[in-house]
Chains A and B, each alone.
Chain A
Amino acid sequence: MNSKYEQLHKEYKNKLTREKRLIRLVQAGILVSFFALWEIAASRHWVDPLLFSSPSRVWNMFLIRIQDGSLLTHTSVTLFETILGFLLGTLLGTLLAAILWWSPFLSRVLDPYLVILNSMPKVALGPILIVGLGPGFASIIAMGALISVIITTIVVYNAFRNVDDNYVKVIRSFGAGKKQAFFSVIFPASYPTIISTLKVNVGLSWVGVIVGEYLVSKQGLGYMIIYGFQVFNFTMVMLSLLIIAVLATCMYQLVELLEKRLVTRHQS
């Protein structure tokens, strides 16, 4: 009897493994055929290789640019700007949310302004940033931060407000003031929301920084795209795009890892 169930369990496990393997296989297949098709299409001139480049050309350029060190510079510049913009946007947004929570009066006063700022396409403010902060790092980082700060403020503020009042009662019944209530209850209870805005902000910061680089930069992956576009070097454009895809994914995965570490305990 027992062994029969064990057998069934084993079969069930095998089935799961098989399914997972199949999914991975198909995923890899799609990736490989995409690049293969791209390569073939370019070499057979189904598409214009001048416009669409080809994987082998991109690879060659990758090797060359790695050797002369320029790729590393561009990548690290962009990565630095993105991470800074991301951190700045998230921290500032959370700080603003805390201030709004602290002062219900202020939050009601600022409410319509937040709505306007949130609906505003932030990249449209690019030129103003450049005028204000000068054409350089500062503007680009500001753009990376600006694009996520308002939405972070709104989402995190809502999380703060939605914390069950009874938790606050518990801590207040021990004589806690507003500050203690914030740090012992409101903030830790909103952890999960804050972490999930991090995930959104990673993507947003990339948008902000790349657009920022389009506008002002002499360095960075966004600059490589614009430059490649202007001199008709689409291999360079493709290379930049691929690198951005890889890096953005890595950052997202890192945040997700962080989430798994931090949020497990928060479901009551």
Chain B
Amino acid sequence: MALLELEKVEKLFFSRDSMTTAIKNISCAIDKGEFVSVIGPSGCGKSTLLSLISGLIHPTSGTIKLDGKEIKKPTPETGYMLQQDYLFPWLTIEQNITLGLKTMGKLTEETRKHSLYLLNELGLGDRANHYPNELSGGMRQRAALVRMLTSDPKLLLLDEPFSALDYQTKLKLEDLVFSTIKQHRKTAILVTHDIGEAIAMSDRIILLSHRPAQVIRIFNIPDELRNELPFQARNHPAFNGWFQDVWKELESLEQQI
């Protein structure tokens, strides 16, 4: 059974003198353990789609089901990583990463230890008592990832988590996030602008149209690419062909305006 099901989801934003259709008639299903990327032109409604899935906003029509249950409000089952890290500057890294547990009333000595273990896994073990402004951009992004993982969500929503980073850090973090997610057997949806990143990291790529967002095409990435670490996948002989395919499709979208 699919972990996440979207059925005829539609989202309109209203203001006094205008009405924006951000999402129009999206239906799709995502299986447990899948890694799906969402790409599409700027402003097409990708972030809106993630917010809908997270439960922070509600669809105007249609339903979104997680594990067969309709999503009514944000649940700890879903972890949401925003485009920037949004670590709280007044809390230490340890306090930041245990924030979710604390909010859910699940902060015990055991879960705290586990959080610190995860922090250590992502190479920030010695930074627990630092404040976010003492960390580099890549470190902060990693800390934000730990913050999301500590509450042990089933579904991870990643909104362009690497777009603010330099290329090298980005490549390293892609590998790290990829292997962390596979290791913990999480389901993930990644929004990105970077075609290469989408191909290197995911099992499937969902291409969205201009606003209002609709599913234009779904690319199924072959096993030889999806089982590799992103960095290796980028160097795989098949990678370029896929890149061209996705790029052409995206380009033809751009021409439609």
Contact = CB atoms under 8 A, between A and B. Distances in A.
Interface of A: 164, 166-167, 169-176, 180, 184-185, 188-189, 191, 265-268
A173 B74 contact: yes
B89 A267 contact: yes
Interface string B138-169: 00000000010001000000000000000000
B156 to A, nearest CB: 11
B82 A169 contact: yes
Contacts of B147: 170
B196 to A, nearest CB: 27
B209 interface: no
Interface string B60-71: 000000000000
A165 to B, nearest CB: 10
Given A169-B56, A188-B88, A268-B133, A176 B80 contact: no
A175 B75 contact: yes
B59 interface: no
B103 A184 contact: yes
30 contacts: A169-B56, A169-B82, A169-B86, A170-B80, A170-B88, A170-B99, A170-B147, A171-B99, A173-B74, A173-B78, A173-B79, A173-B80, A174-B74, A174-B76, A174-B99, A174-B100, A174-B104, A175-B75, A175-B103, A175-B104, A176-B103, A180-B103, A185-B88, A189-B90, A265-B90, A265-B131, A265-B133, A266-B89, A266-B90, A268-B132
B82 A166 contact: yes
Interface string B97-134: 00110111000000000000000000000000001110
B78 to A, nearest CB: 7
A59 B86 CA distance: 58
Contacts of B103: 171, 174-176, 180, 184
Contacts of A172: 56, 74
Contact of B86 (A167, A265, A266): A167
Contacts of B56: 169, 172-173
Instruction: Give 10 nearest A-B pairs by CB, closest first.
Output: A268-B89, A173-B80, A174-B100, A174-B103, A176-B103, A265-B90, A173-B74, A166-B86, A170-B86, A175-B76
Contacts of A266: 89-90
A267 B133 CA distance: 8
Given A173-B56, A268-B132, A191 B86 contact: no
A188 B56 CA distance: 22
A173 B100 CA distance: 9
B97 to A, nearest CB: 12
A258 to B, nearest CB: 15
Contacts of A180: 103
Nearest to B87: A268
B84 interface: yes
Contacts of A188: 88, 90
A191 B79 CA distance: 28
A189 B131 CA distance: 15
A184 B90 contact: no
B91 to A, nearest CB: 8
A169 B88 contact: no
A174 B151 contact: yes
Contacts of B89: 265-268
A268 B132 CA distance: 7
B57 to A, nearest CB: 10
A252 to B, nearest CB: 24
